[in-house]
Structure 1
Amino acid sequence: MPKNSSLIDAPATRTAPPRSFWLLGPALVAGVAYLDPGNVASNMTAGAQYGYLLVWVVVAGNVMAWLIQYLSAKLGVVTGQSLPEVLGSRLRNRWARRSYWLQAELVAMATDLAEIIGGAVALNLLFNVPLLLGGFITGAVSMILLTVQNRRGARPFEFVIIALMAIITIGFVAGVFVAPPDPAGVVGGLVPRFEGAGSVLLAASILGATIMPHAIYAHSALSRDRFGANPRLAPADAATEAARTEPSRIRRLLTATRWDVTIAMIIAGSVNLGILLLAAANLAGVPGTDSLEGAHAALAAGLGPVVATFFAVGLLASGLASTSVGAYAGAEIMHGLLHVRIPLLARRLITLIPALVILGLNVDPTLALVLSQVVLSFGIPFALIPLVALTAQKRTLGVWANRAWTTVAGVVASVLLIALNAALLWLVLTGA
Structure 2
Amino acid sequence: MSQPSPTTISVQTHRVSRRALLGLLGPAFVAAIAYVDPGNVAANLTAGAKYGYLLVWVLVAANVMAMLIQYQSAKLGIVTGKSLPELLGERLPQTARRAYWLQAELVAAATDIAEVVGGALALWLLFGIPLPLGACIVGVISMILLLAQGNNRQRSFELIIVFLLAIVTVGFLTGLVFSPPDAGGVVAGLIPRFAGPDTVLLAASMLGATVMPHAIYVHSALSRDRHRPSPHVHVPPAAVARLLTATRVDVLAALALAGVVNIGMLLLAASTLGGQDGTDSIPGAHAAIVASLGPVVGVIFAVGLLASGLASTSVGCYAGATIMAGLLKIRIPLLARRVATLLPAIVLLALGVDPTWALVLSQVVLSFGIPFVLIPLIRLTGNAEIMGKFVDRWPLRIAAMTSAALVVGLNGVLLWLTVVGS
Give the TM-score band, short-chain normalised: over 0.9
2:61 aligns with 60
Distance in 2 (alpha carbons) for counterparts of 1:421 and 1:299: 32
Following TM superposition, by how much is the alpha carbon of 1:151 offset from its aligned partner in structure 2, in angstroms? 3.5
Helix, strand or coil: the match of 1:402? coil
Deviation, 1:356, is: 1.2
Deviations 1:114-169 (A, max 9, x none): 10000001000000000000000000000000011114521000000000000000
Q: Distance in 2 between matches of 1:360 and 1:150?
A: 32
How many residue pairs are counted as aligned between the two chains?
409
Which of residues 373, 384, 396 is equivalent to 1:383? 373
The reply on whether 1:154 has 2:144 as its aligned counterpart is no
Shift of 1:289: 1.5
CA distance in 2, matches of 1:78, 1:306: 47
- Does the CA-based 8 Å contact 1:374-1:424 persist in structure 2? no
TM-score of the two chains, using structure 1 as the length reference: 0.91
Match for 1:161: what amino acid?
I
Q: Is the aligned partner of 1:359 residue 2:372?
A: no
Distance in 2, matches of 1:152 and 1:228, equals 13
The CA distance in 2 between the partners of 1:372 and 1:294, in whole Å, is 19
Equivalent of 2:390, from 388, 395, 400?
A: 400
1:221 aligned to 2:213? no
Partner of residue 281, structure 1: 271
Q: CA deviation at 1:422?
A: 3.2
Q: Give 2:318's aligned residue.
A: 328
Moved more, 14-23 or 173-182: 14-23
Out of 233, 237, 241, the residue aligned to residue 233 of structure 2 is 241
1:427: Cα distance to partner?
4.2
Deviation larger for 414-423 or 137-146: 414-423
Provide the aligned C-alpha RMSD in A: 1.7
Superposed displacement of residue 43, structure 1: 0.9
- Stretches of 4+ moved more than 6 A in 1? 13-18
My pick for the range that moved more, 103-112 or 419-428, is 419-428
**Which amino acid is 1:298 matched to?**
A
Q: Distance in 2 between matches of 1:48 and 1:370?
A: 14
CA distance in 2, matches of 1:289, 1:196: 20
Provide the rounded CA distance (Å) in 2 between the counterparts of 1:41 and 1:72. 27
2:249 aligned to which of 244, 259, 267: 259
**What is the 5 A alignment of 1:24-423?**
24-91=25-92, 93-151=93-151, 153-229=153-229, 241-242=233-234, 244=235, 246-423=236-413
**Is there any run of 5+ residues in structure 2 with no aligned partner, and where?**
1-13
Structure 1, unmatched stretches of 5+, are 1-12
Match in the other structure for 1:9: none
Is the alpha carbon distance of 1:253 and 1:338 closer, same or farther for their aligned partners in structure 2, counting shifts above 3 Å?
Answer: same
Q: What is the CA-CA distance between 1:183 and the residue it aligns to?
A: 1.5
Matched letter for residue 105 of structure 1: E
Aligned residue in 2 for 1:3: none
Aligned residues of 1:146 and 1:345 also touching (Cα < 8 A)? no
User: What residue number does 1:6 align with?
Assistant: none
Cα shift readout 1:290-314 (whole Å, capped 9, x = no counterpart): 1111111111111111111111111
2: distance between equivalents of 1:99 and 1:30? 25
Corresponding letter in the other structure for 2:407 = L
Distance across 1 between alignment mates of 2:181 and 2:387: 45
Q: TM-score, normalised by structure 2?
A: 0.93
Change in Cα spacing, 1:304 to 1:426, as seen in structure 2 (3 Å) is: farther
Distance 2:264 2:367 in 1: 24
CA–CA separation in structure 2 for the residues paired with 1:371 and 1:64? 22
Could you tell me how far 1:367 is from its partner in structure 2?
2.3
1:18 Cα deviation after fit: 7.6
Deviations 1:233-285 (A, max 9, x none): xx8xxxx522x3x1111011100100000001110000001101111111111
What is the distance in 1 between the residues matched to 2:221 and 2:16? 26
Deviation at 1:390, TM superposition (A): 0.5
Q: Is the 8 A contact 2:207 2:367 kept in 1?
A: no
Rounded Cα–Cα distance in structure 2 between residues aligned with 1:431 and 1:275: 31
Distance change in 2, residues 1:429/1:129 (3 Å): farther
Residue identity in the other structure for 2:141: V
Aligned equivalents of 1:431, 1:112: Cα separation in 2: 30
**2:6: which partner in 1?**
none
Name the aligned partner's letter for residue 345 of structure 1. L
8 Å contact 1:213–1:376 — kept in the other structure? yes
| C-alpha contact (below 8 Å) 2:42/2:360 kept by paired residues | no
